[in-house]
């Protein structure tokens, strides 16, 4: 009976994704992975940034969603142009979606300490459906398709706050073929955050991410975190949508150039009794020493 219940729950999730749209995955630690949704973020950290993230959603369910991302971005020598490359692989049951996209940004100063960046994203989305059980009556053939797409974004920031608007997938891509029906709908993101000094060694950072997808419910991620001694982040989050959940995360500067983070989410929906929650791990490599100036860069909060 438990297996039947799990199959029904996964079926609801799977059918819901097919009915609404193919959507980009969401992350608890989105504030450390902004390049995945906004190309204008490329190069904004004024040094090379390499980020790897793995998310195991609804652990304990057979065929549960798992997502892995890898991104690289850096400013060029003139510091106004940023380039990046991002890869996302998202697995749900027999369904696998891969995103391979390049990022370009151009930054202009709008005041002494405020910058406005314009970004473009372009690449390919691969949608694949493969069932290893050839006797399964619900899947009589496999499906594999590559489709191009592009996106754009704006990112306005200073050392203490930022706001951004973006649409990482602008085209409504038709992935239908034979008995399979899937659409990659365009999504719109609004992000914002700021840092407040509590004391000389403690800072408070509230952030928000809003996501709007045609044909799917809107979602809102609200996050509050504290930074201690410019090394240790401790925070909590809440997501408001049809799959609401509470989350908490820690992030630590384990070495001069490396940061390691962990997040845990607990759903509040009907799926809660059947899962042990969601686990998310992030590793960031970011050199803080500038060969150009021979100095260590001050820590960046966004």
Inside any domain, residue 82: yes
Cα separation, 124 vs 98, in Å, equals: 8
| DSSP single-letter state for residue 8 | H
Match 């300490």 to its residue by tokens: 113
For residue 298, pLDDT beyond 70: no
Q: Report if residue 132 sits inside a domain.
A: yes
Q: Is 176 in a helix, a strand, or coil?
A: coil
pLDDT digits (tens, 9 = 90+) for 137-191: 666 567 788 889 999 999 999 999 999 999 998 988 776 665 556 667 788 999 9
Say what percent of the chain tops pLDDT 70. 81
pLDDT band at 15 (very low <50, low <70, confident <90, very high): very low
The answer to whether the CB of 45 falls within 8 A of the CB of 297 is no
Give 170 or 1, the one with higher predicted confidence.
170
- CATH number for the domain including 237? 2.40.160.40
Cα 103 from chain centre? 15
pLDDT at 242: 57
pLDDT above 90: percentage of residues in the chain: 58
Asked if 57 contacts 243 with a C-beta cutoff of 8 angstroms, the reply is no
Which structural domain range is residue 110 located in?
2-296
Tokens of 131: 């069932």
Q: Does any domain span residue 105? A: yes
Residue 32 lies in a domain: yes
Pairwise CA distance, residues 277 & 36, whole Å: 23
Contact call for residues 24 and 88 (beta carbons, < 8 A): yes
Instruction: Give the model's pLDDT for residue 272.
Output: 79
Mean pLDDT score across all residues of the chain: 84
Question: In total, how many domains does the chain have?
Answer: 1
Over residues 43-63, the pLDDT tens digits come to 999 899 999 999 999 888 888
Which pair of structure tokens corresponds to residue 29?
């630690």
- Reported confidence tier of residue 20, pLDDT bands at 50, 70, 90: very low
Let me know if residue 218 belongs to a domain. yes
Model confidence at 130, pLDDT cuts 50, 70, 90, reads: confident
Partnered with residue 246 across adjacent β-strands are: 238, 266
> Which two tokens mark 18?
């097919």
| Residue 302 located in a structural domain | no
- Range with the lowest mean pLDDT among 16-30, 85-99, 153-167? 16-30
**In the predicted structure, residue 211 carries a pLDDT above the cut 90:** yes
Cα atoms in the 13 Å half-sphere on the side-chain side of 76 = 11
């Amino acid at each position: 009976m438990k297996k039947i219940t799990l199959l029904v729950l996964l079926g609801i999730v799977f059918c819901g994704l097919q009915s609404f749209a193919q959507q980009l995955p969401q992350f608890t630690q989105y504030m450390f992975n902004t390049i995945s949704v906004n190309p204008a973020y490329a190069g904004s950290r004024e040094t090379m940034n390499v980020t790897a993230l793995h998310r195991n959603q609804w652990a304990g369910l057979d065929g549960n969603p798992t997502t892995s991302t890898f991104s690289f971005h850096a400013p060029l020598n003139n510091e106004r142009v940023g380039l990046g490359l991002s890869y996302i692989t998202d697995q749900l049951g027999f369904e696998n979606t891969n995103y391979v996209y390049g990022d370009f940004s151009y930054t202009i100063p709008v005041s002494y300490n405020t910058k406005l960046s314009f970004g473009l994203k372009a690449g390919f989305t691969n949608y694949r459906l493969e069932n290893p059980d050839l006797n399964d009556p619900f899947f009589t053939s496999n499906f594999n398709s590559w489709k191009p797409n592009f996106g754009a974004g704006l990112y306005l920031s200073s050392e203490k706050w930022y706001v951004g608007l973006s649409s990482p997938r602008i085209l409504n891509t038709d992935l239908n073929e034979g008995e399979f029906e899937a659409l990659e709908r365009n999504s719109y993101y609004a992000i914002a955050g700021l840092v407040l000094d509590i004391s000389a060694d403690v800072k408070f950072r509230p952030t928000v991410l809003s996501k709007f997808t045609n044909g799917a419910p809107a979602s809102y991620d609200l996050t509050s975190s504290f930074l201690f001694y410019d090394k240790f982040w401790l925070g909590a989050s809440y997501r408001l949508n049809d799959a609401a959940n509470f989350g908490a995360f820690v992030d630590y500067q384990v070495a001069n150039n490396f940061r390691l983070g962990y997040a845990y989410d607990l759903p509040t929906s009907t799926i809660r009794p059947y899962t042990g929650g969601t686990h998310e791990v992030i590793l960031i490599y970011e050199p803080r020493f500038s060969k150009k100036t021979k100095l260590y860069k001050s820590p960046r909060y966004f």
